[in-house]
């Protein structure tokens, strides 16, 4: 069964179609890198890339995140790299200058949506309540991050949220686990963001041995979900 066609909304400073454009592939798993500093980001990025996690978000709350993104871009050019925890227009500009493919916020501010459109950047604002989610979506963004979804009900919350708004593209984040990532996609999310449950302490210690195992588990789970969907569509 095909998904509902997503409505286009007028935009203030750029056409709606350009704002809806996304760099994230369907069913993307976005690995969210968050640590006191970014010294171990590149090593973890390589492990995740080898496992098949090719969409990665470096949060600005991690010291040196933008420099790490620049270095990772040079060595792993096939990754889709984003910047997270964006709160200001200057943050967006810094992300663009660093070569980020997308930017993500925990909040929704119309001025950030407008600034991202002017910069030509794929921008995903954050929201939580139904009113916040629709307000962000109506601004013409490609996806709305729903976070933190775990503490407010997780899968049950997403299920109830999407019943009256199945056309809204959402990316659940905050409490997504290795076991639930595929389930969020099955419920209708276009992408999921995962952080602590994937990384463990890898970004603190630099030990990526367990990260590889968790990444393989995550990718296998999501691939099985995708394969099941294809079988249903062909039936």
Q: Is residue 132 part of a domain?
A: yes
Q: Is residue 8 part of a domain?
A: no
User: How crowded is residue 18: how many other Cβ atoms within 10 Å of its Cβ?
Assistant: 13
Q: Which residues on neighbouring strands pair with residue 82, listed in sequence order?
A: 57, 102
**Helix H or strand E encompassing 35:** none
CATH of the domain at 186: 3.20.20.70
Pairing status of strand 28-33 against strand 144-146: unpaired
Q: Give yes or no for a contact between 182 and 194, defined as CB atoms under 8 angstroms apart.
A: no
Q: Please give the tally of structural domains in the chain.
A: 1
Q: Is residue 26 part of a domain?
A: yes
Residue 170's nearest CA partner among 196, 134, 139 is: 134
pLDDT single digits (tens) 134-192:
999 999 999 999 999 999 999 999 999 999 999 999 999 999 999 999 999 999 999 99
pLDDT single digits (tens) 61-89:
999 999 999 999 999 999 999 999 999 99
Q: Is residue 6 part of a domain?
A: no
Q: What is the pLDDT of residue 229?
A: 58
Give the mean pLDDT of the chain.
90
pLDDT single digits (tens) 12-68:
444 556 667 889 999 999 999 999 999 999 999 999 999 999 999 999 999 999 999
Q: Give yes or no for a contact between 105 and 113, defined as CB atoms under 8 angstroms apart.
A: no
Rounded to an integer, what distance in angstroms lies between the CA atom of residue 74 and that of residue 21?
25
Q: What is the pLDDT of residue 2?
A: 37
CA dist 98 → 14, 32, 52, 57, 58 (Å): 23, 17, 23, 13, 11
26 three-class SS: coil
pLDDT single digits (tens) 98-148:
999 999 999 999 999 999 999 999 999 999 999 999 999 999 999 999 999
Rounded to an integer, what distance in angstroms lies between the CA atom of residue 180 and that of residue 71?
31
Residue 143's nearest CA partner among 127, 124, 129 is: 124
**pTM score, two decimals?**
0.89
Q: Is residue 189 part of a domain?
A: yes
Rounded to an integer, what distance in angstroms lies between the CA atom of residue 46 and that of residue 126?
27
Q: Is residue 136 part of a domain?
A: yes
Q: Is residue 11 part of a domain?
A: no
Q: Is residue 86 part of a domain?
A: yes
Q: What is the pLDDT of residue 18?
A: 65
Q: Which range of residues forms the domain containing residue 111?
A: 16-234
């Amino acid at each position: 069964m095909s998904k509902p066609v997503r409505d286009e909304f007028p935009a203030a400073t750029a056409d709606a179609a350009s704002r809806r454009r996304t760099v994230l592939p369907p069913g993307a798993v976005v690995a969210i890198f968050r640590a006191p500093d970014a010294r171990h980001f590149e090593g973890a990025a390589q492990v995740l890339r080898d496992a098949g996690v090719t969409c990665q978000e470096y949060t600005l709350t991690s010291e040196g995140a933008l420099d790490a993104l620049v270095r990772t871009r040079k060595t792993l050019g096939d990754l889709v790299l984003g910047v997270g925890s964006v709160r200001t227009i200057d943050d967006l500009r810094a992300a663009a200058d660093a070569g980020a493919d997308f930017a993500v916020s925990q909040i929704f501010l119309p001025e950030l949506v407008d600034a991202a459109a002017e910069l030509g950047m794929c921008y995903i604002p954050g929201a939580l309540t139904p009113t916040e989610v629709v307000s962000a979506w109506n601004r013409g963004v490609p996806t709305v991050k729903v976070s933190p979804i775990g503490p407010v009900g997780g899968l049950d919350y997403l299920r109830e949220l999407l019943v009256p708004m199945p056309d809204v593209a959402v990316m659940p984040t905050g409490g997504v686990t290795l076991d639930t990532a595929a389930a969020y996609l099955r419920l209708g999310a276009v992408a999921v963001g995962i952080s602590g449950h994937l990384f463990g302490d890898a970004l603190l210690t630099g030990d990526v041995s367990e990260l590889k195992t968790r990444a393989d588990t995550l990718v296998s789970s999501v691939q099985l979900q995708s394969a099941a969907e294809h079988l249903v569509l062909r039936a």
